[in-house]
A = this chain, B = another copy of it.
Amino acid sequence: MHPAFEAELATINGELVQITRLVGSAMNRATQALLDADLTLAETVIAADAQIDTLASDIEERCFHLIAASTPAEDDLRVLIGGLRIATSLERMGDLADHVAKQARLRYPRPSVPQELRGTFAEMGGLAEAIVSKTGSVIALQDVALTADIARHDAQVDALHRELFTIVMSPTWPHGVEAAIDVTLLSRYYERYADHAVSVTRRVVTIVTGVPYVGVSLDDPR
């Protein structure tokens, strides 16, 4: 591999890892803003989303130009096309953190989440953090073994998501329609965030193993 090509690949990889940190930090702060009804913190997440979008576009352009300029071998091409698709998924994870923050802002100064569900959302936030941090390691080290952990965390997020559905739809739900919809949408944002992380790790597996990506939907309607 040409040294300049290798250096550029390393730059792209480093930028992808950097975005995992940014979208991880965004979701952490969004969760905190949600739980504490902290408007200032919510605003920092919303303001930072543009930086994530720009970085993702930048990676996509780098991948494109490297393909155009270097006639990469098939393996390298798989890395580069995988890279631009991973950038897209990470950018979407940033949007979902932004959605959580906007939900916190929408209901401020009231909390968006009833007291008795704070623990569940804190748990979802913790799982999101674990997932994105391991996703960063998968990208940095191509450590495919971590994908099993990520899939397990994703299943935990799915279980919490279903549990929240059961709670808000129960006949004894005391908080009314607005709170039920808030909880449903918030829960869905965490669930989709985790799905996108899983899809990123599948792209890395594709790159490492050369087996084509299978676009199985991770997303159930509920």
**Interface residue ranges, A against B (CB under 8 Å):** 49, 53, 56-57, 60-61, 64, 67-68, 71, 74, 77-78, 81, 84-85, 88, 91, 95, 98-100, 102-103, 106, 165, 168-169, 173, 176-178, 180-181, 184-185, 188-189, 212-217, 219-222
Contact = CB atoms under 8 A, between A and B. Distances in A.
Given A57-B214, A103-B221, 20 more contacts: A56-B215, A57-B215, A60-B213, A60-B215, A64-B77, A81-B84, A85-B85, A88-B215, A95-B217, A95-B219, A99-B220, A103-B222, A106-B221, A106-B222, A173-B177, A176-B177, A177-B177, A184-B184, A184-B185, A185-B188
A133 to B, nearest CB: 24
A31 to B, nearest CB: 15
Nearest to A189: B221
A77 B88 contact: no
Given A85-B88, A88-B85, A217-B95, A61 B181 contact: no
Contacts of A222: 103, 106, 185
| Copies held by the complex | 2
Contacts of A185: 184, 188, 221-222
A170 B32 CA distance: 29
A60 B77 CA distance: 13
19 contacts: A53-B217, A57-B213, A57-B215, A60-B213, A60-B215, A61-B212, A64-B78, A67-B67, A67-B81, A85-B85, A88-B215, A95-B219, A98-B217, A106-B221, A168-B181, A173-B177, A177-B177, A177-B180, A184-B184
Contacts of A57: 212-215
